[in-house]
Amino acid sequence: MHHSCLSQKQSVLFPREINPLCYISVPFQNNFDLNVPPNNGFKWTMNLMPIFPFSLGKKIDIINRVVLPVISQVDIYGKTSQTGLGDLLINTFISPKPGRFVWGIGPSFYFPTGFPNELSAKKWATGPGGIAAIQTKKIIAAFLLFHLWSFTGSEQRPDFSYTYLQPLVVYSFNHGWGIGLTSEIGYEWKKDVTNGSVIITGQKTIKVGKQFLNFVLGPKIFFGNFNQPQFGFRTTVNLLLP
């Protein structure tokens, strides 16, 4: 563990997909989206998001963020249902050894691993990305940003140029409690389509033996100009491995 990491109480309250510098992290992020247009459908997405940093010499860290969705949905594509895997996303960030201000840049890769066909874009894509975070004693503010250009794949599926931005603020209390506010914003440039959500979360971290567990729960408020659900909520269980 780096000597310049956040204090133990602060670090375990901070979402590891943004600042995974003190722990190997395995979040199981469950998203429940209700009344999805145009058929009032339902969609459950469990994002398995392991984060594993490692040192590259004395001054540089490499942070790897993997996102693999497990999806079950009903009445999203007409009166049908699908259950399977979504497409795989890997973000890699090169970051100086952390201090009060943390940042990193690097490539992102998108692989068409999804099945059945309705759960995949059927395109390969890549592009740049970046993370940044700054901390005080009680507050951490951060953002995650990356862009993906598709470059090959099924000719029956459209190419895409997609930007994702996630700003985030977490306030930590005593005894492992915390509150968070984040927004997840996606913009598809070729179709001029915006989708996003604002998520307000309550958080609690406990220790079971030597294992830290971080629990997150909160509602999702959607916005955008394409098929946004009427309501949703998120639950996350995050294993933190020193």
pLDDT recorded at residue 3: 33
Torsion of CA 7, 97, 92, 145, to 10 degrees: 70
pLDDT recorded at residue 116: 96
Residue 118 has a CB neighbour count (10 Å cut-off) of: 14
**Tens digits of per-residue pLDDT, 85-94?**
999 999 999 9
How far apart (Å, rounded) are the C-alpha atoms in residues 89 and 98? 24
Domain 8-241 has CATH 2.40.160.40: yes
Residue with tokens 């009166």: 79
Structure-model confidence comparison of residues 5 and 30, the more confident one = 30
**Tens digits of per-residue pLDDT, 143-170?**
999 999 999 999 999 999 999 999 999 9
Confidence of residue 52 (pLDDT cuts 50, 70, 90): confident
For residue 50, pLDDT beyond 70: yes
Query: How many Cα atoms sit within 13 Å of 152 on the Cβ side?
Result: 2
What are the tokens at 154?
A: 């099924």
pLDDT recorded at residue 212: 85
**Tens digits of per-residue pLDDT, 180-210?**
999 999 999 999 999 999 999 999 988 888 7
pLDDT recorded at residue 241: 76
- What pTM was computed for the model? 0.88
Cβ(205)–Cβ(176) below 8 Å: yes
Enclosing H/E stretch for 202: strand 193-208
Per-range mean pLDDT, top range of 31-35, 49-53, 95-99:
31-35
For residue 133, give the 3-state DSSP assignment. strand
Question: What is the overall mean pLDDT for the chain?
Answer: 87
How far apart (Å, rounded) are the C-alpha atoms in residues 214 and 206? 7
pLDDT recorded at residue 15: 40
